Each structure stands twice: as C-alpha cells, then as structure tokens.
Amino acid sequence: MDKEEYEETVRNVADALYRFAYRLCKDQDEAKDFVQESFMRLWAHRSEVGIPKAFLFQTAYRQFLDSRKHEKVRQDYAGFALYKSKERERTQPLFPERGELKEMLDRALDTLPPVQKAVVLLRDYEGYSYEEIGEISGLSAAQVKTYIFRARVALRKYIGELGKALG
C-alpha cells in the first residue's frame, strides 16, 4: 500500500469506522482515538495487510475489547444505571418520539455483552456479511450467527420488558 492508497482508504472508510467505534463505546473522544490508532496501525503494517477495511474494523473492535477487559466497576455501575433507566422508562409516553426511540435502542444495545454488541452493529448498522464480521472479530461465521441470534433475543426481551413497563 502506497501513500495514495492509504489516503484513499482514509477518505472511504474513516466515517464508517468512526460510527462503528462510537456505537461501541458511546464516547466521541474514545471513538476518535480508536479510529486514529487503527489508521496508525494500518500504516505501520501496510505491507502485511490484505484487506484494509477489514483490518481497520478489526483493530478498532479489538481496541474496544481491550479497553473494556478490566472494568468491573464500570459493569457494576452499568447495572445500577440500567436499573435507574428502567425506572425512568416507566414514566415515558407509550409512543416515544424518534429521538427517544433511538435513545431506547441505544440503551438496549448497551445491555449486551461487548462481542454481541459489536457483531450486531457490524451486521445491522454497517451491513457486513457474517463472513466479513468473522474476519473482523476473529470468530467463525457460525459463531457470528450465534452471537447475533443471542443478541437479538436479548434485545427483544429488553424491549418487551420495556413495553410491559410502559403498557
């Protein structure tokens, strides 16, 4: 990969990579850091990389997982925050506005384990195939399908419980 190919990759992939990273971590600065680090690693390994886009998403995904490995306190807080958010949801109207609906979906995604969240975002938001997600995540296509299935079951359950609380 030469400088022109690298710059073209930056132009073509940066926005989608940022969206993916942001949906994973919900923090603009952290997402920007993941994107910047991913592109730096791409340049450093440019002679070894077969598919730059897959390499970038895989790198951002692994950075996200690494950043979450030892966050027991964060998980405890997230459980408390989920409890509090369910209390708030009980007071929300039956038919939320579009922004509120997006916020509820984001909260539902945040309840998923990191791997499930990542594969759902790659599949449903970024449009990757099971095989491409497998390349990015280091999972087999069958494992990706399983994680997506489990994530969707969990999301349906969360949304169903929310519906009961609102209903």
What's the rounded Cα separation, in Å, for the pair 147 and 62? 17
Model pLDDT, residue 66: 85
As a three-state string, the secondary structure of the chain is CCHHHHHHHHHHHHHHHHHHHHHHHCCHHHHHHHHHHHHHHHHHCCCCCCCHHHHHHHHHHHHHHHHHCCCHHHHHHHHHHHHHHHHHHCCCCCCCCHHHHHHHHHHHHHCCCHHHHHHHHHHHHCCCCHHHHHHHHCCCHHHHHHHHHHHHHHHHHHHHHHHHHHC
Model pLDDT, residue 83: 54
Nearest to 112 by CA among 83, 81, 153, 72: 153
Quick one: tokens of 34?
A: 């993941």
- Structural domains of the chain ordered from first start: 1-69 (1.10.1740), 96-167 (1.10.10.10)
pTM of the model: 0.66
Model pLDDT, residue 167: 61
Nearest to 59 by CA among 95, 13, 104, 124: 13
Enumerate residue ranges in the chain where pLDDT < 50.
73, 88-95
C-beta atoms surrounding 116 within 10 Å: 21
Cα distance from N-terminal residue to C-terminal residue, the chain:
56
